[in-house]
A = this chain, B = another copy of it.
């Protein structure tokens, strides 16, 4: 769609859209990717200082003294270039995604396939991603007497907010609540217990 390049320049950047952002003057690195996305990186931090999603249009000439403008539905980035330090094309830039392990999904699957190892209740039905009025329940077990077991799974350390999210589901469908994951904070476990919910420790296999 657009030829990708990196530009290390002196100048200033203005963003207008969901917010209003001013940057510089200073030295920044501009990245233009295959998908038309744009990012302006400063000398610290992982996220860019300014950015714009895929299919941003580009106007202007990349040269000292020029202004280039990127646009995308209601958003604008204007870049005033004072000086160019280097300019390089990135041709054949790979669009591969990272193959990720240790996701929340893996923990959900582990609990699904090994339910008896983690829960006392014998359920005739175990479902994942059960849709409710206020969002999907990660794991829902149903006992023969109709009792529901509502499980909210977190891949990272569970917080008080996660406990309240569980509470939201339990109040919506009824039943017994469980928060599951590899780790939970002190405040969170206290909150969980005081509201009558259960903590289920589950680790990643690899």
Contact = CB atoms under 8 A, between A and B. Distances in A.
Interface of A: 4, 6, 8, 15, 18-24, 26-29, 31, 33-35, 37, 39, 41-51, 53-54, 85-86, 88, 90, 92-103, 133-135, 155-156, 160-161, 164-165, 167-168, 187, 190-191, 206
A18 B90 contact: no
B135 A160 contact: yes
A154 to B, nearest CB: 13
Contact of A20 (B18, B102, B191): B102
Nearest to A92: B27
14 contacts: A6-B29, A20-B206, A21-B98, A23-B97, A24-B94, A35-B43, A42-B95, A43-B94, A46-B48, A46-B53, A85-B90, A88-B88, A133-B187, A161-B165
A26 B94 contact: yes
Contact of A43 (B90, B98, B160): B90
A29 B134 contact: no
A82 B24 CA distance: 36
Contacts of A20: 100-102, 206
Instruction: Enumerate the 3 nearest inter-chain pairs by beta-carbon distance, A residue then B residue, closest first.
Output: A26-B94, A43-B93, A20-B101
A29 B130 CA distance: 39
